[in-house]
Structure 1
Amino acid sequence: MSHFLSNVAAHYKKPLLSIALLAGLIGSTHATTYLIVPDNSNARFEIDHFNTSTNTGGFYNITGQLQYDPDAKIGNISVVIPVNSLNTGNKAFDNVLISPDFFDADKYPLISFESTNWHFVDTNANGVGVGDVVKVDGNLTMHGSTHPVTLSATKFNCYFSFIAKSQVCGGDFTTTIDRRKWDISKYTLLGITEMVKLKIQIEAAKQ
């Protein structure tokens, strides 16, 4: 664990912040540990554009750690997202979004999510549903503010990857947030909605 924390801290040159974001993982000592695979993980967003179209984009190069035990119904995850990884397919628009008008990447270079509670399917008499993840509660830190969010799991599964030569767990999650809570409210009065839909894909390899 200390090796992982030091690597993330060194990578982002924000040692105190990175350690604080990931320290919550240490308590889950009985679950299997998985490292997030950046190539197979992302956080995409959709936001209505003046009620005529939908602007989309995503964040990449996500790092973090998952701890998971389906039998004991234990889960814990911390995710670190570099704001400068934002990609909408339009460089000019990217520059607008990472500017002080929106994410202000120079001042707030990281977005983080730390889970606080995992919800699992209740098992029936035959044990069906063991380990199935329904949703994950946690705290989303962005633009200098932290607020609780709940991610709904549309998929979550573990399998042995012959490519990674390791057990892999991952899933797709969705949520909708009000960007004003994080003080990102530019153009809401002009017709760009405050509600942003997030679609998060996470894959993590067993350590």
Structure 2
Amino acid sequence: MRLLSIRPKPSHIYSSLTIPLLLVGTANSSQAASYAINPASTHIRFAIERFKSSATTGGFYNIKGQLQYDPSLQTSDISLIIPIDSLNTGNPSFNKSLTGPDFFDAKTFPLAQFKSTKWYFDQDRTNPQLIRVNGQLTLHGKTYPISLTATKFECDTNPSLKKEVCGGNFTATLDRTKWNINKFVWFGLTKNLNLNIKVEAARQ
């Protein structure tokens, strides 16, 4: 009986098939330009109603992160690192309360992070506009999805920096109880935080 011999395919055949695929993947991933978040021009402002009185406002500052953006392919990604102890309402006593263990607990959870998962653009083929960014927010030791509505997002050359800068404004509503920040919900301190987010990033 003759044994059937199965000859392996020459390695150069695999190479000739694999290299073009790798090049396609590299081309797609390398199209997006890289931008560094400018902490001086990036912040997250919030408003929270206190016991049916006027809303108290505040913000998180000194935010850092990275942006990858390619408008032609509509491929984008953003990651933000938010220091909790940067919180400022203009009231030192209230700052201390909000960053304390009953609320954001900056000592135990010093950082929050937002990582985008999907960007949505409108159907304008000549000049597509960003309309929404979905992502995951890690806060107070828990991670849940949130959605940011884009009210403005554009890139242009900054004459002082002499490089391209992308800037955007976004809004969102955050239910703090999902992240186990429950203090005073039953006593009139609203669970919803209305967020206004400003992001600026310079091309690397």
Q: What TM-score do you get using the length of structure 2 for normalisation?
A: 0.84
Q: Please state whether the residue corresponding to 2:103 is helix, strand or coil.
A: coil
Q: What TM-score do you get using the length of structure 1 for normalisation?
A: 0.83
Equivalent residue letter for 2:172:
T
2:137 is matched with 140
CA distance in 2, matches of 1:29, 1:65: 15
1:177 equivalenced with 2:174 (yes/no): yes
- Aligned alpha-carbon RMSD (Å): 1.2
Q: Evaluate the alpha carbon distance shift between residue 118 and residue 52 of structure 1 in structure 2; reply closer, same or farther with a 3 A threshold.
A: same
Asked if the contact 1:41–1:202 (Cα under 8 Å) also holds between the matched residues in 2, the reply is yes
1:109 is matched with 110
Equivalent residue letter for 1:63:
K
Q: Evaluate the alpha carbon distance shift between residue 90 and residue 28 of structure 1 in structure 2; reply closer, same or farther with a 3 A threshold.
A: farther
**Rg (Cα) greater in structure:** 2
Q: In structure 2, which of residues 189, 192, 197 is the aligned counterpart of residue 195 of structure 1?
A: 192
1:48 is matched with 49
- State the 1:28 CA deviation: 4.6
Q: Please state whether the residue corresponding to 1:34 is helix, strand or coil.
A: strand
Q: Please state whether the residue corresponding to 1:50 is helix, strand or coil.
A: coil
CA distance in 2, matches of 1:29, 1:99: 43
1:129 is matched with 127
1:22 is matched with none
CA distance in 2, matches of 1:29, 1:77: 15
The number of residue pairs the alignment matches comes to 177
1:39 equivalenced with 2:40 (yes/no): yes
Alignment of 1:80-95 (within 5 A): 80-95=81-96
- State the 1:29 CA deviation: 3.5
> Percent of aligned pairs with the same residue?
48
List per-residue Cα deviations over 1:120-161 (Å, max 9, x = no partner).
Answer: 0112xxx3432x110000000000000000000000010100
